[in-house]
Structure 1
Amino acid sequence: MEHQLLCCESETIRRAYQDANLLNNRVLQTLLKAEDNYLPSPNYFKCVQKEIVPYMRKIVATWMLEVCEEQKCEEEVFPLAMNYLDRFLSVEPTKKSRLQLLGATCMFLASKMKETIPLTADKLCIYTDNSIRPTELLQMELLALNKLKWDLASVTPHDFIEHFLSKLQIHQDTKKILCKHAQTFVALCATDVKFIASPPSMIAAGSMAAAAAHGLHPKNSDSMLLSQNLTNFLSQVIKSDPDCLRACQEQIESVLEASLQQAQQHHAVSSETKTGEMEGDLSCTPTDVRDVNI
């Protein structure tokens, strides 16, 4: 008689159930107290870096986001990787030719922290058009760990989103939509230098408010999700001035608008020049970072 193991291997990753005990006020207050410890220096472009400038960070961040999306990484991986990158650049002068290597290394570390099956060094090297070798990535990993003082449990905006959602008395389906849109806004903020100095709780709250304003159909929105009400409520949760949170939300919405315009322009150009020769080729770097490497 044949028996089939219930624990057989499958393509589907088994996930643990969410522990409601981790969404209490004590945990939230601990996160709020700890988040400042993981903020990078907002002035590192002027005070630390001599070759790297903001537009280079934008190019590499966009490439990192596209790699994470193509590899279907957990939502937390990209913001965490950007936190590592900014904290590293806050303390270590880096040549611009090594910025993509640093970005790949930060994804490597963040993936190990958050993924069940992390990204491999070989795969990340392929995404750089093989401009770096696995040995270089592993060497940079040790340097990054040293500069980050081996403290990789950074507080990111994602740590706050579930706390905010647990406090909203709204339908579960609405929570899922709100969460997805908020995660998108968080990723967008991580690519923009304007938010380097913003606390994760502020970015999470601003993203949640922006998601409610732009991601939900007005007829299906609860009164709690009206922009003014939600902003005031979240400002109380994170103990912030409502005007500061509102300003952060407006900045996020402004970045979203600029990003959508840029995406439309890029799509128009791509439609004219796309040949399809490189479709499915992992060796093709999703975003051109050669300008940074030169």
Structure 2
Amino acid sequence: MELYCLESDSAVLALPDPNILHDDRVLQSLLTIEDRFLPQCCYFQRVQKDIQPYMRRVVAGWMHEVCEEEKSNEDVFPLAINYLDRFLAVMPTRKSYLQLLGAVCMFLASKLKDCRPLSAEKLCMYTENSITPRELLDWELVVLGKLRWNMASVTPNDFIEHIIRRLPIPKEKLAMVRKHTQTFIALCATDDRLAMNPPSMIATGSMGAAVCGLKLDHSDQRLNRDNLTYLLAKITNTEVDCLRACQEQIERVLASSLQQGRQCGQDSSIRGGSKAREQQDQSSTPTDVRDVNL
């Protein structure tokens, strides 16, 4: 009898484990170890001489577009940004290597979090072949060495399920709140001013912004801004004032992002990304990323 392996076009994900989500020790362990995976310093002042904050924002935006175009797992982009920040905090890097570093970080994060990791060849295509697969593989070892092979970072996404199940959110709204929270977390990852905040604070601030934005307090007063902030702070053992300031900063970043989007009048898809598979000579790297490389 012949056995056939039937491959599905869509990823098959495991269901959440209630034994993990309902055990408070898991959340406490995440809170205990999360600081180990923060950048060691504000690297623009202490480490990096050639790279400026706007360059990091440009490359982070490009990384997000690649992950969206490839429909990567939601955990890939925040994890890749964590690798990027941790590397830049310990290793002076020339700006001409910044996009290569971003590609390597996505390469590593997708191996850890995606059932179908990004290939070296495809990542090179998204840089308009400004890097080679050999360079990417060589830099993979450099990044692993500088991060001491400590790649299982705690990211804001790790806190989402632990927080959301402790909030009085109607079941029919859970999926919407979860999706909006993930969007806020991805937005935070593109902004260097939030890079030094602990993942738990980014997660709670993002969820607070998501719940307030969806106006769920209309159906439950426990979800109004003040009550929600106190409840979120209690869940993650965070200072209320710090959490409130973080949420306000996240909302400002969102407002700024929306304003820039209206000014540009462009969508967030990669230029030529969907056509690059059919026409290899078409650029798939945004102009601003190429400017950083110069």
Instruction: Using structure 2 for the length normalisation, give the TM-score.
Output: 0.92
SS at match of 1:169: coil
Corresponding residue for residue 132 of structure 2: 133
Aligned residue in 1 for 2:88: 89
1:281 aligned residue: 276
CA offset at residue 141 of structure 1? 0.3
- Judging changes above 3 Å, is the alpha-carbon distance between structure 1 residues 217 and 170 closer, same or farther for their aligned structure 2 residues? closer
Aligned to 2:229: 231
Retained in 2: the 8 A contact 1:45–1:54?
Answer: yes
RMSD over equivalenced CA pairs, Å: 2.0
Give the Å deviation of 1:183: 0.4
- Matched residues, number: 285
1:279 is displaced (CA, Å) by 6.0
Supply the distance in 2 between the matched residues of 1:76 and 1:86 (Cα, whole angstroms).
16
SS in 1 for 2:8: coil
C-alpha displacement at 1:10, in angstroms?
Answer: 2.1
User: What is the SS of the residue equivalent to 2:265?
Assistant: helix
Deviates more, 1:41-50 or 1:229-238: 41-50
Per-residue deviation, 1:43 = 1.8
- Structure 1, residues 228-284: CA drift from partner, whole Å, max 9, x if none? 11110010111111111000000000000000000111116x8xxxxx988622553
Matches within 5 A, 1:81-160: 81-160=80-159
Distance 1:277 1:19, change over 3 A: closer
Structure 1 CA distance, aligned partners of 2:141 and 2:210? 38
Q: 1:210 is matched with which residue? A: 209
**TM superposition shift of 1:121:** 0.3
- Aligned AA (1:97): S
1:12 — aligned with what? Answer: 10
C-alpha offsets along residues 96-142 of structure 1, whole Å, 9 cap, x if unaligned? 00000000000000000100010000000000000000000000000
Contact 1:178 1:216 in 2 (8 A): no
Question: 257-266 vs 7-16, which deviates more?
Answer: 7-16
The residue aligned with 2:188 is 189
Please tell me whether the aligned partners of residues 124 and 130 of structure 2 are also in contact (alpha carbons under 8 angstroms). yes
Change (3 A) 1:278 1:114: closer
Question: Contact 1:59/1:287 (CA < 8 Å) preserved in 2?
Answer: no
3-state secondary structure, aligned to 1:110: helix
Q: Which amino acid aligns with 2:243?
A: L
1:273 is matched with: none
Q: How many Å separate the matches in 2 of 1:277 and 1:80?
A: 25
Give the match's secondary structure for 2:187: helix
Point out the more displaced range, 184-193 or 225-234.
225-234
Write the distance in 2 (CA, Å) between the matches of 1:102 and 1:279: 23
Kept in 2: contact 1:178–1:211 (CA 8 A): yes
- Partner in structure 1 of residue 72 of structure 2: 73
Cross-structure match for 1:252: 250
Give distance in 1, aligned partners of 2:272 and 2:192.
Answer: 34
Summarize the Cα distance change of 1:182–1:75 in structure 2 as closer, same or farther, 3 Å threshold. Answer: same
Deviation string 1:34-72 (CA, Å, 9 cap, x unpaired) is 000000034211111110110100000000000001111
1:131-180 deviations in Å (ceiling 9; x for gaps)? 00000000000000000000000000001011001112332221111110
| TM-aligned CA deviation for residue 3 of structure 1 | 9.3
In 2, Cα distance between the equivalents of 1:33 and 1:209?
22
SS in 1 for 2:237: coil
**Contiguous gaps of at least 5 residues in structure 1:** 271-275
Task: Indicate conservation of the 8 Å contact 2:83/2:105, yes or no.
Answer: yes
Report the secondary structure of 2:102's partner residue: helix
Secondary structure at the counterpart of residue 188 of structure 1: helix
How far 1:286 sits from its partner (Å)? Answer: 4.7
Alignment CA distance shift 1:279-1:139 (3 Å): closer
Q: Percent identity?
A: 54
